[in-house]
Amino acid sequence: MSARRVLAIDAGQSDIKVRVDDGSRREDLAFRGIHTGGPLLPQLARVVHETLQRTGTEPDIVAAGISGLTDRDADADALLSLVHADGVRATMLAHDSTTSFLGALGDRHGAVVAAGTGVVTLAVGATDTARVDGWGWIMGDAGSGYWIGREALDAVMRAYDGRGPATLLTDDALARWPDLSQAYMALQADHDRVRVVASLARNVARAADAGDAVAREISHRAAQQLAWSARTAVRRVRTDEPVFDVCAIGGVFASRTLHDAFAAALGEGAGLRLVAPQGVGIDGALALAEITTAHPLGTAVHRAGAI
């Protein structure tokens, strides 16, 4: 890393991780996750302002990897205008699939499945890149924390009605909503409902690891979805590599049951090797400050300003 002062942001829906690096020291901070229903860039600008107030850093570059970044919000010039008064001279924005890949595999070929509240898979081959899913909680994110939490709620209400088997997940739901008959109304009215649903993935992980049949079945189905995305992305970029590396990162993979099921499902595709990541999303956001247009992912980065 150069001596340039970088403020790196890994902006997810559950939380926002920030790393300040001035070439001689690093400091990590955390903030509340982005709200996908509101304007993105003012949220990032507030994170930058609060980071500067808390650390006293004057960064040259703000580099951000953002969950669900759309073309509408990928306006590095607009972000620079919001933070230029703080001394920032350049901004770089990328979809979190890019920063997840950079953090996990760096300059290597391979595929990275990043599964937290949402999920996105990115594969990089010798000449091509391929993104799979990352289409949000309404249209996609198969196998994500939200997907798992939604399946858990479905299972709980099926058990409540007598349409499905009993599950330990009911106790977790009752701890949050003592009257299950009113839970759906409370959840629909909750401004943070996506985050709330996704948080139930931790309950599924605990119940699955404890042997709950319903939670294990949900975990296995999620693993199948995630492995399917990985195999699809690899198929779109792979040329003649005899072995293609795959990384699994994000809180969803903290579940031992799901991780093991993912590894088994991935093994069904010939020549795929599950490898440990060299870093995580915030590491990739920091690496974003050094990426050039010659890098296979260089065209996926939106830039403004100059150093």
Residues 29 and 170 in one domain: no
In a domain, 272, yes or no: yes
Residues 207 and 273 in one domain: yes
In a domain, 126, yes or no: yes
The helix, strand and coil proportions of the chain, stated in percent and rounded to the nearest 5, come to: 45, 20, 35
In a domain, 237, yes or no: yes
Residues 28 and 161 in one domain: no
**pTM higher than 0.85, yes or no?**
no
HSE (side-chain half, CA atoms, 13 Å) at 27:
12
Residues 91 and 184 in one domain: no
Residues 112 and 237 in one domain: yes
Residues 295 and 249 in one domain: no
How does pLDDT run across 127-159, given as a tens digit for each residue? 889 999 999 899 999 999 999 999 999 999 999
Distance CA 238, CA 127 (A): 9
Residues 220 and 286 in one domain: no
218 touches 155 (CB < 8 A): yes
In a domain, 176, yes or no: yes
In a domain, 260, yes or no: yes
pLDDT for residue 269:
63
Residues 20 and 89 in one domain: yes
Residue 36 has pLDDT above 90, yes or no: no
Residue 250's SS3 state is coil
Average pLDDT of the segment spanning 196-225? 97
Q: Which residue in 10, 21, 15, 18 sits closest to 290, CA to CA?
A: 21
pLDDT for residue 268:
66
| Vertex 157 angle, CA 156 and 159, to 5° | 65
How does pLDDT run across 248-270, given as a tens digit for each residue? 999 999 999 999 999 999 986 67
In the numeric block, the tokens 């492995």 are attached to 227
In a domain, 94, yes or no: yes
Domain count, the chain: 2
Residues 180 and 119 in one domain: yes
How does pLDDT run across 173-183, given as a tens digit for each residue? 999 999 999 99
How does pLDDT run across 81-112, given as a tens digit for each residue? 999 988 899 999 999 889 989 999 988 899 99
Distance CA 58, CA 94 (A): 22
- 3-class SS string, 108-148: CCEEEEEECCCEEEEEECCCCEEEEECCHHHHCCCCCHHHH
Residues 79 and 116 in one domain: no
In a domain, 1, yes or no: no
Which tokens in the block code for residue 274? 């599950």
Distance CA 247, CA 99 (A): 13
Residues 97 and 156 in one domain: no
Which tokens in the block code for residue 63? 């580099």
Q: Which helix (H) or strand (E) holds 20?
A: strand 15-21
- CATH number of the domain at 208, please: 3.30.420.40
Q: Give the residue numbers spanning the domain of 92.
A: 6-101+281-305
